[in-house]
Structure 1
Amino acid sequence: MDPMDAGMRYTPKSSDRDWDQAVTFLPATDSAKLEKKKGPGRVGAILGVVVFACVLALITGLLVWHFHFRKDQKTLKMYNGYMHITSQEFQAAYENPNSTEFQTLAKQVVTQLRDIYSKTPALSKYYVDSTVQAFSQGSVVAYYLSEFHVPASQEAAVDSAISSLENLKYQRSLQSGSLMFDRVVASAVDPRMLRKRSKFSANTQPNRPILVESPDFPNFPYPSNTLVQWQLKTEPGNVIQLDFQTFYLENECKNDFVKVYDSLAAIESRIMAEKCGYYSPNDPLGFISSGNIMLVTLVTNEEGNYPGFRAMATQVARGSQGMSCGGTLKGNSGTFTSPNYPKYYPPNTRCEWTIEVRQLLFNAVSAFMMSVGQPGLCQNDYVQVNEEKLCGSVSANKLVTSSSNEMKVVFYSDGSLVDRGFNATFSSFEPTNPCPDKFLCNNKRCVSHDLRCDGWNDCGDSSDEKGCKCDSSMISCRNGMCKPMFWKCDGIDDCGDRTDEMNCASCKAGELACGNGKCILEKQKCDGRDDCGDKSDEVDCGPKTVCTASNYKCKNGECITKQNPECDGEKDCTDGSDEDCGDCGLKAFKFSRVVGGQDAVVGEWPWQVSLHIKNSIHVCGASIISEHWLVTAAHCVQDDAKVRLSQPGSWEAYLGLHDQKQLEVAQKRYLKRVIPHPNYNEYTFDNDIALMELEQPVTFTDTIRPICLPSASYDFPAGTTVWITGWGATREGGSGAKVLQKAQVRIINSTVCDSLMDGQITSRMTCAGVLSGGVDACQGDSGGPLSSSNGERMFLAGVVSWGDGCARRNKPGIYSTVPKFRAWIKEMTGV
């Protein structure tokens, strides 16, 4: 494509000693003296028996202790909970842990808890003490921490007894020296929160936003082995809205994590979410409480510290815009969402909508759900449309209809574990036609009639592809489906019953059928040459002593016949050189427009480069392959009438860039050399690849990393899923994207592609796309990467080269095949 016109134990050794006891008898002439010696001998024997019996008793006792008592050594068990006190009115002094009022009420709570535990046999024997952590309103809620020393064999019984406290009936009449309360709730403290050093922070400023930051943010990573808590409170009648502006923790939640509670103590039955990893501003992370309190907890381990987070806690009036829900919706169409969408909905919420349309028309609700409860059960959080409950992740355009002109929709969330919720639209329809001008799928989705029997599962349940009559241009599958003819014999089971992969080769005796349908002589298998054209005749050939183009060559000269052995996590070369990969192709973050694509997440494609004409705009993409070198397309560096693009002085490269309007956050580098492939053909785009040497080496960061280069023998077979990325036009003839775009496509059989592209495909070109159209690279994406995953690492499969328009049906994108140029890249760069 042309450049855009504008756009990580020690066991001590045993030291046992063997003691030898020797008795020496001296010569004696007095026989009576000798006889005297016999008495002590008998005494010694008796003493020996006694000593032996004592030792035996000691050993027996130790064994009994070891196998009976030791297994029941007591362990520390901590339980967080709250008590709802109805005999007290909340006082401002309860906000201050040092006040007399706080300490007096806290003593009463501790006394009451001791009384409760003493009446429960499973708890009374092991109870140690309790501590009151905070009070909140309603009338007064006391948050406490109780400590028990529990034998290992009794831990389950104690856990059960603690859980049952919530179901007990408590005193409702005030007794002398006691509190009147109606509820006690407790749950075991997360063990990960007990092994850390504790650091506490409280914020009680309801009249203005509260800044919640991890320690030392943003100048330093958060500290190791730390527990930090923020108790957030607002005035009664309000709720807390917590919005994270930056969130960057270690990927493994077992190490570092943030927990948000709908409580002032870390009560696991009131947890809203546990989060770790990275969340970009494009994927907003926000929570809202059900009442006027919230607890935010950061827990870190001893290593792997990351930048941390910054969040704003805001007081929001209950029922304010964006937080309210329910009501009556009228008209022929409309939209409604769960509270706080697309951020996380609050716990303990129930919303009810009544939808009314004109008398002669019926209702339809199309809902997009995101992890609302557990699919199939819908016992926790759910949306109920009339009598149908929806939960879990529900596909877009899920259609629920009504048999009348009125529909009731209820959204419910319990007291813990919230998610993003839903966004739904409603519309009216004629009773006989629930999908006006569209095809009604079995799953009640509506799709265009043009998508019926086109070989693609547009409904999601394949109902648009059933009962079809296939024409001559389609593959007639035995299961009744039709598939495009260009998928025949490409090695992928597109029909689902392998109809499209049958009768692909009619080989004679003594011949071998290749994976692409070609017939070759059996003696040609494993002869070191790619006789099939798809290398299938050189697979599973055993060890070789001579390397061919289809073999991976180790540094020690050993040849590996396994397909794509490098950096796959398995040591294939005896010298391990196939796994000597460094940090290439690795992403620092954990993740959840190219035409038909979507916004990428910051740091998701750290090898992506934006090439600008100096002091001007983005025109092409490139890929980082080392600290000094980039790979791009040769057609990007061809001189034109205005700019000498072949000269390094005409360029500036932005590495680590995400948004074209935020160039200042990227590393900017100038070029030292531009090296287009010497055999580049500007008319056919053959050998469309170029190298760029940076004037100064780039500094690798979490958002700037090289992609792995495949070996010359690396194969990306048809059907392989790959990614295209870039800032190019989001539609044919359109303008470039501001934010880096990504799209998923798959590699297309070269024979099929050559037919679709009128014979213009050479052996150095790779075809990839979605032949139904809608997803493709476009102007401005040229030179960028075609990235392919091999486990945890990404390889540079191709370089964006050319295409017939953008995202057209049956017109895939064409990419320069990087393995074909591996020797040249090595020669030029040493990489």
Structure 2
Amino acid sequence: MKSNRAQKGRGGKKDLGAGLKYSQQSQNINGIEEGVEFLPANNSRKVEKRGPKRWIVLLALVTFFILLSLMVGILVWHFNYQNARVQKIFNGYLRITNVNFIDAYENPNSTEFANLASKVKEVLKILYSGIPALGPFYKDSGVTAFSEGSVIAYYWSEFSVPQYKVQEVDRVISKENAIMLPLRSRAVQSFTVDSIVAFPTDARTAQTTRDNSCSFSLHAHAGEVTRFTTPGFPDSPYPLRARCQWVLRGDADLVLSLTFQSFDIAPCDAAGSDTVMVYDSLSPVEPRAVVQLCGSYSPSYNLTFLSSQNVMLVTLITNTVRRHPGFKAEFFQLPKMTQCGGYLSGEQGTFNTPYYPGHYPPNIDCTWNIEVPRKQNVKIRFKFFYLVEPHATLGTCMKDFVEINGEKYCGEKPQFVVTSNTNKITVKFHSDESYTDTGFFAEYLSYDSSDPCPGMFTCKTGRCISNNLRCDGWADCTDFSDELQCVCNSTHHFTCTNKLCKPLYWVCDGLNDCGDNSDELQCNCPAQTFKCGNGKCIPESQKCDKQDNCGDGSDEAECESVWTVSCTKYTYKCRSGVCLSKGNPECDGKKDCSDGSDENNCDCGLRSFSKQSRIVGGQNSDEGEWPWQVSLHAEGQGHVCGASLISSTWLVSAAHCFLDELGIKYSDPSLWKAYLGLHDQSKRSTSGVQVRGFKQIIPHAAFNDFTFDYDIAVLELDKPVEYTSVVRPICLPDSSHTFPAGKTIWVTGWGHTKEGGSGALVLQKGEIRVINQTTCESLLPNQVTPRMMCVGFLNGGVDSCQGDSGGPLSSVENDGRIFLAGVVSWGEGCARRNKPGVYTRVPVLRDWIKEKTGV
């Protein structure tokens, strides 16, 4: 409306000016000409002096035009700006100290609620009328809820503010986020009000107070868990363009624990995306927000939140048209924490933030006074530390923080150590009213200051690590101090120019491992030449000339355009029979084959959750993080081997898992059960886990049970699986697909967590690297065949182990799609130095897999 009125004003002004200018000028000129024509010639000069000169007329007209424009502009501004109104909505709460809370106030439809709400609205109207910056623009208020204390009323207020007054109104509210009450106004309408707080509100959130079609009120009961979901969950998506809210309550003087057991809404990809907010209040005000959630989370991700009082508010605002199932949540009440912190003594112990690993509650302070034996010093080791807030200023620690020795710590930190100069230390933790995190888990230790790490290396951070981790090429100290000032072992390590030590097999692998590129400097071919993937040097002019001059296709693999080349074992063949210059083109999102066959059957290698061997040196995986991982159980033995899902009916595993031994016919399909979607071996009966038997087990005919050559098998399920967020297939690489030396790959499984140890309950994951084949063969002489690949670290530490056999080696490609690079096969021990794990190469056996399964 404003822009339309302004446009109309400019048009009218232009027409009026044009008419005055040309019409008036024409009349003057005609009058002068007529006078010149009919008066005597000797009077012509006199007549000419009677009227103003032409430039004076023009100047007067221009001045008039400017004044008229200015006047019209002022009128336009007056009507479009001075009188334009902006809707401002504030959410807040006020405390009434002379009214006692009754149960009826929980029900918005009760007479008692309506009566009290009406009085609160009248109080707000009276209070606003006494504030010049607000009173004239006040329109309406609404009360959304009441809670204990004596009675807290949660409300919204709407103002219609002239455009030029908006900043002043915002300033009045935001100055203290509280409306300052005149002393005479503290008692209004028989109410005694001791505080009234207001915050600017997102208009989308404010609508939830007026539309009750998706509004719910729930009350926890002693000893019971109350559950709720988004409308339609899980059978249908939550509503489009919805404004939903759940009011959660507990009994007076208790607090609430809220957990999202399943969470999947539209991704957090842009402003205005679908959002779930949780508030430590019944009013949706930003300073009392506990968390903001969007996207999807693994079921194993910790989404437990605590309140500081007996109420919480959960809101869902949907703006996208994407179809997602929403969330499933539960809450219960528990006693309010009476104290936080305490006195800790002894040589060692542990402590953590309240409710760890759940999110600590807002608005809490804890102090731990720690004392160890005399003549010893105290060391605090934070093993996990997460105090992250979305709006905190980086490095300031003004909101949630830990304070020790006068220094504040916040944010997300790797394991770190803080020490004292005496046998005492004080640790303080502070959480403000908004946005909480999982907090920290720490241990305290006593130590001799003259030898803080007996028999071990002391990092500059105070952390103790084993001496054999010193100068091994890996930063075991978070400050890298274990890798500084090293003398490298020339037998196993390369000395970088910056004096860092790196494993020899990383030299000339195409990756800058030293950081100064010195491990790659002596690896290049001469100037004006190109280094092939197999090490061969060719003239630069032969690169991207549509000829395989290298012999491995690497000179044509990374060219901007893709063309057909002569077929070799290194090139990708389309279904039409033509071969491409491009390396690894399958399922990369680009149609390179004219028949599109490189992008067919690509519903694989994607997982619903993206968040970060028994795997020795590994860590717990998230549920659904590796949805193709399968657990194979032999009758009476539990988990024995792993496998990978490659289609709805076929698995890939290791042939050696099905060798008959000790009188047990492991080759018999009826002996086995496959568990898909499994995360924790102790929870095999949970929803989401699918159990299948086998129709047939097909080991490779050339499998050698002595050398483990051709260690691969395919397994057909007795009935298809259903694809879900935790059950999906992994992509199979083409026979030409390469996984170069130095590439990072993930190994997963439930095997032993140390050599000679026991299996893991929770699926483990470990990140390892492909080792150069020549290095692999030198480390395991006369044992490695072309069907095998070494993956791991020469210094050990991370590896697969017993119980991981048959499981996947998952390679994340550039577009995020994951391919099955290998199958866990064998190794000498687990995670030993210079003894990397050996895996069956899947690309080499790709044609055999297709022949047996059709996949």
TM-score (norm 2): 0.81
| Residue from 579, 588, 603 that aligns with 2:608 | 588
Q: How far does residue 91 in structure 1 lie from its aligned partner after superposition?
A: 5.0
- Structure 2 distance, partners of 1:434, 1:817, is 47
**Residues 503-522 of structure 1, C-alpha deviation per residue, up to 9 Å, x if partnerless?**
23676x99754456455687
**Residues 24-74 of structure 1, C-alpha deviation per residue, up to 9 Å, x if partnerless?**
xxxxxxxxxxxxxxxxxxxxxxxxxxxxxxxxx9xx999998998499975
Give secondary structure in 2 for the equivalent of 1:112: helix
Q: Does the 8 A contact of 2:296 with 2:608 survive in 1?
A: no
Q: Does the 8 A contact of 1:595 with 1:778 survive in 2?
A: yes
Matched with 1:659 is 680
- Structure 1 distance, partners of 2:207, 2:124, is 25
1:421 aligns with 2:444: no
Deviates more, 1:378-387 or 1:299-308: 299-308
Q: Does the 8 A contact of 1:214 with 1:298 survive in 2?
A: no
Q: Does the 8 A contact of 2:238 with 2:323 survive in 1?
A: no
| Residue from 695, 699, 702 that aligns with 1:672 | 695
| Residue from 212, 233, 236 that aligns with 2:249 | 233
1:766 aligns with 2:789: yes
Q: How far does residue 101 in structure 1 lie from its aligned partner after superposition?
A: 5.1
Matched with 2:753 is 730
Give secondary structure in 2 for the equivalent of 1:82: strand
With over 3 angstroms needed to count, the CA separation of the structure-2 counterparts of 1:669 and 1:64, relative to structure 1, is farther
Q: Does the 8 A contact of 1:635 with 1:682 survive in 2?
A: yes
Q: Does the 8 A contact of 2:631 with 2:678 survive in 1?
A: yes
**Residues 613-670 of structure 1, C-alpha deviation per residue, up to 9 Å, x if partnerless?**
3565332222111122221222223344524444544443332233334444533333
Give secondary structure in 2 for the equivalent of 1:777: coil
The AA in structure 2 aligned to 1:774 is G
- Structural mapping, 1:301-700, within 5 Å: 303-306=322-325, 308-319=327-338, 324-367=339-382, 368-373=384-389, 374=392, 375-396=394-415, 398-473=416-491, 474-504=493-523, 513-515=531-533, 517-519=535-537, 536-540=554-558, 543-548=562-567, 549-556=569-576, 559-592=579-612, 593-614=614-635, 616-640=637-661, 642-665=663-686, 666-700=689-723
Deviates more, 1:692-701 or 1:215-224: 215-224
The AA in structure 2 aligned to 1:294 is M
**Residues 177-221 of structure 1, C-alpha deviation per residue, up to 9 Å, x if partnerless?**
374434332234345545776422223455443503115687644
**Residues 322-374 of structure 1, C-alpha deviation per residue, up to 9 Å, x if partnerless?**
xx422222222221111111111111111112222333222221123113455
Matched with 1:3 is none
Matched with 1:184 is 196
Deviates more, 1:565-574 or 1:476-485: 565-574
Q: Does the 8 A contact of 1:801 with 1:816 survive in 2?
A: yes
Q: How far does residue 458 in structure 1 lie from its aligned partner after superposition?
A: 0.8
- Structure 1 distance, partners of 2:90, 2:182, is 22
- Structure 1 distance, partners of 2:159, 2:736, is 63
- Structure 1 distance, partners of 2:531, 2:230, is 64
Q: Does the 8 A contact of 1:241 with 1:316 survive in 2?
A: no
Q: Does the 8 A contact of 2:512 with 2:519 survive in 1?
A: yes
| Residue from 98, 108, 112 that aligns with 2:119 | 108
Question: What are structure 1's unaligned runs of at least 5 residues?
Answer: 1-56
**Residues 394-420 of structure 1, C-alpha deviation per residue, up to 9 Å, x if partnerless?**
111x11112222222110011100011
- Structure 2 distance, partners of 1:829, 1:194, is 57
Q: Does the 8 A contact of 1:172 with 1:181 survive in 2?
A: no
CA RMSD of aligned residues (A): 3.5
The AA in structure 1 aligned to 2:615 is V
Give secondary structure in 2 for the equivalent of 1:584: coil
Q: Does the 8 A contact of 2:287 with 2:434 survive in 1?
A: yes
- Structure 2 distance, partners of 1:700, 1:103, is 50
Matched with 2:740 is 717
- Structural mapping, 1:779-798, within 5 Å: 779-790=802-813, 791-798=815-822
With over 3 angstroms needed to count, the CA separation of the structure-2 counterparts of 1:501 and 1:587, relative to structure 1, is same
Matched with 1:85 is 96
- Structure 1 distance, partners of 2:580, 2:79, is 57
- Structure 2 distance, partners of 1:600, 1:611, is 18
Deviates more, 1:696-705 or 1:666-675: 666-675
Matched with 1:22 is none
- Structure 2 distance, partners of 1:183, 1:345, is 27
The AA in structure 2 aligned to 1:588 is S
Q: How far does residue 782 in structure 1 lie from its aligned partner after superposition?
A: 1.4
Give secondary structure in 1 for the equivalent of 2:657: helix
With over 3 angstroms needed to count, the CA separation of the structure-2 counterparts of 1:730 and 1:217, relative to structure 1, is farther
Give secondary structure in 2 for the equivalent of 1:815: strand
Q: Does the 8 A contact of 2:628 with 2:645 survive in 1?
A: yes
The AA in structure 2 aligned to 1:604 is E
| Residue from 120, 139, 152 that aligns with 1:141 | 152
- Structure 2 distance, partners of 1:812, 1:545, is 38
Q: Does the 8 A contact of 2:256 with 2:331 survive in 1?
A: no
1:290 aligns with 2:290: no
With over 3 angstroms needed to count, the CA separation of the structure-2 counterparts of 1:751 and 1:116, relative to structure 1, is farther
Q: Does the 8 A contact of 1:708 with 1:796 survive in 2?
A: yes
The AA in structure 1 aligned to 2:501 is C
**Residues 78-122 of structure 1, C-alpha deviation per residue, up to 9 Å, x if partnerless?**
332112334545455544445565444433332333344445566
Question: What are structure 2's unaligned runs of at least 5 residues?
Answer: 1-67
Matched with 1:829 is 853
The AA in structure 2 aligned to 1:826 is K
**Residues 538-595 of structure 1, C-alpha deviation per residue, up to 9 Å, x if partnerless?**
4345543334333333445554433323333344445544334442111123434322
- Structure 1 distance, partners of 2:229, 2:401, is 33
Deviates more, 1:301-310 or 1:801-810: 301-310
Deviates more, 1:462-471 or 1:109-118: 109-118
| Residue from 257, 272, 278 that aligns with 1:260 | 278
Give secondary structure in 1 for the equivalent of 2:703: coil
The AA in structure 2 aligned to 1:287 is F
- Structure 2 distance, partners of 1:282, 1:205, is 24
With over 3 angstroms needed to count, the CA separation of the structure-2 counterparts of 1:612 and 1:153, relative to structure 1, is farther
- Structural mapping, 1:59-78, within 5 Å: 69=80, 76-78=87-89
The AA in structure 2 aligned to 1:326 is G
- Structure 2 distance, partners of 1:304, 1:61, is 51
Q: Does the 8 A contact of 1:543 with 1:559 survive in 2?
A: no
Q: How far does residue 466 in structure 1 lie from its aligned partner after superposition?
A: 0.9
Deviates more, 1:709-718 or 1:521-530: 521-530
Greater RCO between the two (CA within 8 Å, min separation 6)?
1
**Residues 408-445 of structure 1, C-alpha deviation per residue, up to 9 Å, x if partnerless?**
21100111000111111112222333334332223333
With over 3 angstroms needed to count, the CA separation of the structure-2 counterparts of 1:403 and 1:653, relative to structure 1, is closer
Q: Does the 8 A contact of 2:564 with 2:580 survive in 1?
A: no
- Structure 1 distance, partners of 2:693, 2:756, is 30
With over 3 angstroms needed to count, the CA separation of the structure-2 counterparts of 1:514 and 1:389, relative to structure 1, is same
- Structure 1 distance, partners of 2:191, 2:176, is 16
The AA in structure 2 aligned to 1:795 is F
Q: How far does residue 795 in structure 1 lie from its aligned partner after superposition?
A: 0.8
Deviates more, 1:418-427 or 1:92-101: 92-101
- Structure 2 distance, partners of 1:109, 1:625, is 63
With over 3 angstroms needed to count, the CA separation of the structure-2 counterparts of 1:471 and 1:628, relative to structure 1, is closer
Q: Percent identity?
A: 48
